[in-house]
């Protein structure tokens, strides 16, 4: 009777040991993957966000990658074990940084009298707007005269003269009638008065 109990106890202990070894091997298999290196974290951040990595901080379970993008400076947290992105946070806006560079602080007169007091930040001077250039077109009458000289004909009605735009340039389209030849349309640059084409009626 005593031997039977000992055998049962020994068999149960053996099963526990086998299960423990199996669990250990399984855990080792899942955790055997090598953690992400600092260079790999840097490369991953650059590939995902197309920015410039300026600093990498190695924490216990993640890398904190500081990056400069067009919209500002960001911190990207990358998990060392899985390589997944934990969080992305912006710590500085680009526009604010550029404004500080363009308008450096200058000491005011009050600063000389009271040392230790922070100098007041001077506001940037507004830039003067350049007045837009006005574009002057030739008149329809002038366009008609150019068309008449070009085709040696007549223009019946000034109201029939049309305009069209092509490539950001405005043109006059002037219909010219001729007695002993084909009628046609003269295309004239509305700014320079240059004839850019003559089209005959079918």
Give residue-wise pLDDT tens across range 174-196: 999 998 889 999 999 998 999 99
Element (H, E) at 58: strand 52-58
Exposed e or buried b per residue across 132-145, where buried means at least 16 C-beta atoms within 10 angstroms of its C-beta: eeeeeebebeebbe
Neighbours of 104 (CB within 10 A): 8
The mean per-residue pLDDT over the stretch 31-55 comes to 82
pTM: 0.36
Residue 16 — pLDDT band, cuts 50, 70, 90? confident
Provide the token pair at 114: 């009271």
Give residue-wise pLDDT tens across range 99-114: 555 555 555 555 455 5
List Cβ neighbours of 35 (8 Å cut-off, separation of 6 or more): 80, 81
The mean per-residue pLDDT over the stretch 7-16 comes to 61
User: What pLDDT sits at residue 32?
Assistant: 47
User: What pLDDT sits at residue 30?
Assistant: 47
């Amino acid at each position: 009777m005593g031997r039977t109990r000992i055998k049962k106890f020994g068999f149960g202990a053996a099963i526990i040991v086998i299960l423990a070894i199996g669990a250990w091997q399984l855990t080792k298999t899942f955790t055997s993957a090598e953690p992400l290196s600092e260079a790999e974290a840097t490369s991953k951040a650059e590939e995902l966000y197309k920015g410039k990595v300026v600093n990498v901080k190695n924490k216990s379970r993640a890398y904190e990658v500081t990056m400069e993008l067009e919209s500002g400076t960001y911190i990207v947290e990358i998990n060392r074990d899985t390589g997944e992105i934990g969080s992305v946070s912006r710590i500085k806006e680009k526009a604010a940084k550029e404004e500080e560079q363009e308008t450096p602080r200058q000491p005011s007169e009050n600063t000389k009298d009271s040392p230790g007091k922070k100098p007041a930040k001077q506001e940037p001077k507004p830039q003067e707007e350049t007045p837009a250039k006005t574009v002057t077109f030739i008149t329809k009458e002038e366009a008609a005269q150019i068309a008449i000289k070009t085709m040696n004909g007549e223009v019946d009605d000034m109201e029939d003269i049309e305009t069209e735009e092509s490539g950001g340039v405005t043109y006059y389209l002037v219909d010219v009638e001729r007695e002993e030849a084909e009628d046609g349309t003269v295309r004239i640059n509305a700014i320079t008065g240059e004839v850019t084409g003559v089209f005959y009626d079918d």
